[in-house]
Amino acid sequence: MLKYGVYSVAYRTMLKYLVGGRQVNNLHIIVDTAPGKKQQASLEEALEKRASEVLRTRKIDYTIDHHYSAAHALLQAADYCAWAIYKKWHGKDMRSYDLIRGKNQERV
């Protein structure tokens, strides 16, 4: 059993959302690098398992890269969105969520 099981669920949910009903041939996944080797290994295992489950079954080729979020603007944006959603549901703070609301409609 994976120690960071919540990430496994989050990975599966995000991958399903990303591919949705669209025709996708390949996907390049970029995730943050974890601070510890054991945590990194566990997260890599979870992501690979979910990517295989969601993407390979749909015949979508994929690659996975790990970058430090401090050096990657898109990872910082993803962290902000996750934090805003967390604040909405756990802190009942809508201010940050309202800034990103509806942005998924603008995606390419």
What is the tens place of the pLDDT at every residue in 51-108? 999 999 899 999 999 999 889 999 998 888 888 888 888 888 899 989 988 776 555 4
Regarding whether 62 and 16 lie in a shared domain, the answer is yes
CA distance 28 to 73: 16
Regarding whether 84 and 45 lie in a shared domain, the answer is no
Regarding whether 77 and 52 lie in a shared domain, the answer is no
Regarding whether 31 and 83 lie in a shared domain, the answer is no
pLDDT at 108: 44
Regarding whether 50 and 20 lie in a shared domain, the answer is yes
Regarding whether 62 and 27 lie in a shared domain, the answer is yes
CA distances from 52 to 1, 47, 63 (A): 17, 8, 11
Regarding whether 12 and 56 lie in a shared domain, the answer is yes
Domain extent at residue 74: 69-108
If one counts the domains in the chain, the total is 2
